[in-house]
Structure 1
C-alpha cells in the first residue's frame, strides 16, 4: 500500500515494523525493518539511531528465459551468498537484467534482501521508477568510486526456475532437482508475489486447466487495489474456474495466522518469502518457495513441475 499510494520516493529513509520493509528499496529508498521499541521511539521523536551499513553489489546480467522471473533470480542470489551472506549490508541490485524488470519484479527482489541478512535492498531509480511514480527524473545512484564489501556476479541467461527447499531460504536448487515431489497445497500471494502481475502469470498458465485432485490452490492478492484490477480483467474468474480458492487481501498462510495452514507431513509450494519450520502451520509440514509460474504449474499437476514444460 505504501508503494501504491506513492508514499515512498527515491532517496527517502523509511523504517517499518515489518522485516520486509526493505522492499521499498525497489523505488530507490533506503528502507529497513525495525522492532516495536525502536518504532515507538520513532513515533515519539521522529528520530532513530543508525549504523551506516556496508554495501554488497549484485550485478545481474543477461536475459532470463521463459517462465524465469525475479523471484527465481533473488532465490538464486540468496542461495549463492547464504542466509547470513549480507548481514547488516545494503544490497544493491544492478545490471541489465535488473534494469529490464518492472516495478513489481523489483519489489520482489528488494523484499527478500532480508533473507540473506541484508539491512536494505536498493535498486537505482531509472525511467521505469520515475514513470511509475509520476515524477521528474533526477540523477540518483552510487558514486563512481563507491566502496563495496563484495561484488556478486550472476548471468541469468539459460538459468532454470529456482526452488528453496525446506527449511531454509538459502537451500536453493534448480527445479530439475525437485521435480515430481507431490504437494498438498499451493499458495500464490504475500508481499513478495501477490501483485496483479503475479496473479496474471498464474492465471495465464491455469486458463482452461484444472487444479489437481487433492491439492488446495489458495490465491490471496496483496492489496484491495491489486484484487480489483485482477477482478476487472477476469483473472480471478479464470483462477476460480480452474479450482482456486481466492481469499481477501492478507498475509494468509505466510505468517501462519489464517487461510491455508498446513497439517503434519503436508507439503506446501508457496510464492512467499520464508519456509522456516512451522511458518505455515504444523512444524512437521514442508514448505518450498517458488515463483508464481512454478506455483501455477505445480497446482495443475499436483507435484512440483517446471513451468517451461507447460
Structure 2
C-alpha cells in the first residue's frame, strides 16, 4: 500500500506495514541526552530498575545548555552525568563539541531511515538527514535508555512543497517562518512536516536543518526531508550514509498539502511573543534593538555566519547594540575561524563565544533585561525566553540579524549595500 516517508520508516523498523494513527512499539536507532534534561532521564532509568543501558553505542551524551558550568548546580549535574557515562560505557562529548543537534548530525550519529529520539524538542532537526527524529520527555527517555524502544503513535504527515528561487539575502529561515505563519503554532500538532519541491532539493544541508529544526514550532512531531544526493554527500563523509530508497509514494495520503513559491518571498521576522506572529521585515523596520544574537542550533552553522559576514563587510556593528556570535559547534567555529569570519566579527565589535546554546533558552548567559529588545537567529521568542519576561525577542535570519546589528534597528538586509 502507498505510504508516506514516515510510514515507511516505521514499517521498516517494526518489520511490518504500519499506517498513520497506529500505536507501535518501535526500536530506536539513537537516543540523545544533554545537561538540562539528561539527569531526570537517568533518574527515571534507575526508577524503572535499570542497571545497564540497552546499547551504550546508541546513546549520544553532551553538554551544551549551561557550558562551561555557570553555577554550582550546573557543575554538580554535569559531574553526575559524567559518572553515569563512565559507568555505562557511553561516549560523552561533554562540553567540547557544541550544541547537541548540530553535533549529533555532524558526528554521523543519524542515518536515513533511523528513528532517533532526544530529550529536547528540537531533536526534529535530524530529519534533515532523512530520519524520523523527535523530542521526548524524561520518562520516555528513561524507558528508552533501559529497553531501547518506545511506544509511538505513527504520525500523519503534512506536505510543505516548495518551489522557486530565493532572492539575494532571503533563505531557509525566511521560508520556515513563512510556513509557520500559515500553518500556525499548533497547526501541525503531532504530525510530520515533510519538506519537498525543487527549492528544498537545491537547498544545502544547513538550510534543511533550519527548516526541520523549526517543525516543532508549528506543533510538529517531526520534520523530514527525503534523502537525496545532497544528503549522501553530507553523510557519507561522516560514515552515516545508508543507501535507502526513502520517499513518499505519489499516492500517499497526507493530512494536508501546502504549496509555497519563494520567488517573491522577502525577509521574514517573527515578532513577540509567538513564532507564528510573522511579518515582512519592512513592517518592523526601524525597531530599535539592544542585543543581536547570531547562533543556536537553528542558525549557528558556517553558512549562517558566512551570510552574516557578507552583509557586514568591513563595517562595524552599532555601538548601541550588544552583538553575540556563537557558532553551533567546534567544527563550525573552526570553519569560521579559518575563513576569517571570527576576526571579522570581533573587529566589528561582537563577542564571539565558544559553541553552546548561549542565550537561546534564557538560562545561561547573554540575557536581556526588562524593556530590552533582542533580535535573534534562534527558534523561539516566547515571553521570558531570553531573559526578562518584560523583554522582547524578534526572530529572523543571520542576514537580517547582521543588518540589524549594523544599524541598531531592525533592518531589511537587502538595503545594506
TM-score for the superposition, normalised by structure 1 = 0.99
- Alignment match, 1:146: 252
Q: In structure 1, what is the Cα distance between the partners aligned to 2:125 and 2:267?
A: 22
Q: In structure 1, what is the Cα distance between the partners aligned to 2:247 and 2:328?
A: 29
Residue 205 of structure 1: how far off its partner (Å): 1.5
**Which of 267, 270, 273 in structure 1 is aligned with 2:376?**
270
- Deviations for 1:188-209, whole angstroms, at most 9, x for unmatched residues? 0000001111111111211211
- Alignment match, 1:72: 174
Gaps of 5+ in 2: 1-102
Are the aligned partners of 1:126 and 1:137 in contact in 2 as well (CA < 8 Å)? no
TM alignment of 1:1-310, pairs within 5 A: 1-134=103-236, 135=241, 137-310=243-416
Residue 174 of structure 1: how far off its partner (Å): 0.6
Q: In structure 1, what is the Cα distance between the partners aligned to 2:225 and 2:164?
A: 17
The DSSP-based 3-state class of the residue aligned with 2:193 is strand
Max Rg structure: 2
Q: In structure 2, what is the Cα distance between the partners aligned to 1:131 and 1:86?
A: 30
Are the aligned partners of 2:289 and 2:408 in contact in 1 as well (CA < 8 Å)? yes
Q: In structure 1, what is the Cα distance between the partners aligned to 2:244 and 2:157?
A: 22
Residue 62 of structure 1: how far off its partner (Å): 0.7
Q: In structure 1, what is the Cα distance between the partners aligned to 2:164 and 2:355?
A: 34
Residue 225 of structure 1: how far off its partner (Å): 1.1
Q: In structure 2, what is the Cα distance between the partners aligned to 1:307 and 1:295?
A: 8
- Deviations for 1:249-301, whole angstroms, at most 9, x for unmatched residues? 11111011222100000000000000000000000000000000000000000
Are the aligned partners of 1:207 and 1:242 in contact in 2 as well (CA < 8 Å)? no
Residue 138 of structure 1: how far off its partner (Å): 3.5
Q: In structure 2, what is the Cα distance between the partners aligned to 1:287 and 1:138?
A: 41
The DSSP-based 3-state class of the residue aligned with 2:106 is coil
The DSSP-based 3-state class of the residue aligned with 1:273 is coil
The DSSP-based 3-state class of the residue aligned with 1:269 is strand
Q: In structure 1, what is the Cα distance between the partners aligned to 2:133 and 2:249?
A: 19
- Deviations for 1:40-84, whole angstroms, at most 9, x for unmatched residues? 000010110000110000011111101001000000000011000
Residue 14 of structure 1: how far off its partner (Å): 0.4
Q: In structure 2, what is the Cα distance between the partners aligned to 1:207 and 1:238?
A: 8
Q: In structure 1, what is the Cα distance between the partners aligned to 2:370 and 2:233?
A: 47
Are the aligned partners of 2:112 and 2:244 in contact in 1 as well (CA < 8 Å)? no
Q: In structure 1, what is the Cα distance between the partners aligned to 2:338 and 2:262?
A: 34
- Alignment match, 2:60: none
Number of corresponding residues: 310
Residue 137 of structure 1: how far off its partner (Å): 4.5
Compute the RMSD of aligned alpha carbons: 0.8
The DSSP-based 3-state class of the residue aligned with 1:121 is strand
Gaps of 5+ in 1: none
Q: In structure 1, what is the Cα distance between the partners aligned to 2:318 and 2:232?
A: 42
Residue 110 of structure 1: how far off its partner (Å): 0.2
